[in-house]
Every structure is written in C-alpha cells, then in structure tokens.
Amino acid sequence: MNSSISERIVHIRSLLPSSVRLIAVSKTVPAEVIRIAYAAGIRDFGESRVQEAARKQAELQDLSDITWHFIGHLQSNKAKKALEQFQWIHSVDNLQLAQRLNQLAHQLGVSPQICLQVKILPDLNKSGWSVPELLADLPVLNQYKNLQIQGLMTIPPLGIDEAATLKVFNTTRELAKTIGDQNWSHIDIQHLSMGMSGDYQLAVQAGTTMVRLGTILFGERS
C-alpha cells in the first residue's frame, strides 16, 4: 500500500512535463500518508477544507518546505484561516471573496498567490466567474494589491467528452493570454490550474502549469 503510493507518484511525475507543478490533493488523506507522498518528493499539497487541513498541518509542522494549496469552495467566514494556512488559493470564485481576501491579507501582512476560478461552460454545480463576468471585474481585481493574482483555475462540467474537455482547457489558456495582453499592473496570469485525475492528460496537452491530482495518487476517497 505505502510503496504503491510512492510508485504511483513517481510514475505520474514521470508522465508529466517537468514544467508542470504536481499538486497532490490530500483531502481525506491522513497525515501519515501525506508523509509518504512527501518522502516520494511531493512538496505541493491541495486541501479543500480549512478545518481538516489545519489538523494535518499541525501534525506535519516539521515538513516546513510544503506549499499548501487551498482548492475548495471558500466561505468568507473561513477566509482568514485560509490565509493563515495556505500560500495559494486556487478557488477564488467571486469578487466579494477577492475583496475580503485582499482586506484580510492586508491585516495579516500576507500576499497570497491566487487563481481566479472560471467557468468556461455554464455549470450549476460549480462556482466561478463566467468569461464575460471575469473580464468585467478585472479593473476592480487589479486594485487588490495584497493579492498576487497569478492564475486561472477551471474545472470542466462533469460528463462532457474528451473533445469538449480539451476545448474548455484550451479556452482557459486563451483567456489567460487575453488577460495578459491587457497589461494590468497588478494581475499577472502565469499559471493555469487545470487537470484532475480523469482529465489531466488533456490539461497537459492544453498547456496547463499545475495539475491537481488526488485519486490517481492516493486511491479512491471513501
């Protein structure tokens, strides 16, 4: 079991271009298994619940070079804790949350790395900006100087086929380029957070820079 997690990590790492950052999604995974992944070379871990992450982070304090990535829906009453515990927040999905994070980041003296979550296709099950909404909000986001807005994050709707999934990822990359071409002073999109266990190869094909992989590394979550 333990060696198989290490083997899977080494194998998946070998399939990814070296420029792609592998974020091991460790939600529901106990701290001792996170240690195994760490020993296999993982330094980026993704969690989707602030509370659950806090417990594990306390147990793993000795692994001081881990970068923690928050990837779940963030409620604004958890925003402060998220900023205290995570260097990256991939799932900033609306302007009110961004504003709150900017304000809290100022108070806490931190400057979190941020991905803006976009919905390329309509999806009632997910939060995030539609493309026109995001483009309209950029002038305000550009004023949030305590946030390092560095990426776009997307999750394709469940159940679409490979061609449609690839198109979602390609459109996200093109959107990042469009935003980059607008030369904002405080928004510098260099990262794409796209690709989970079922679709990461398509995300790599589309030029993602970060994949968020859980099941394929750690097995099915119960």
Ligand X SMILES: *Cc1c(COP(=O)(O)O)cnc(C)c1O
| Residue ranges in contact with ligand X by CB under 6 A | 25, 27, 48, 71-72, 155, 196-198, 212-216
Q: Which residue is nearest to ligand X (CB)?
A: 214
Task: Rank residues 9 and 146 by Cβ distance to ligand X and give the closer one.
Answer: 9
Residue 33 φ/ψ region, left for φ over 0, alpha for ψ in the -120 to 50 degree band, beta for the rest: alpha
Helices and strands per DSSP (H, E), number in the chain = 9, 9
Helix%, strand%, coil% for the chain, nearest 5? 45, 20, 35
**Among positive and negative, which fits the CA dihedral 118, 198, 75, 147?**
negative
Q: How far is the CB of 72 from ligand X (least distance, A)?
A: 6
- Cβ proximity to ligand X: between 27 and 80 the closer is 27
Q: Residue 172: count other Cβ atoms within 10 Å of its Cβ.
A: 25
Smallest gap from residue 44 Cβ to ligand X (A): 12
Of 151 and 214, nearer to ligand X (C-beta) is 214
Minimum CB separation from ligand X for residue 15, in Å? 14
Nearer to ligand X (CB atom), residue 146 or residue 199? 199
Q: Give me the least distance between CB of 25 and ligand X, in Å please.
A: 4
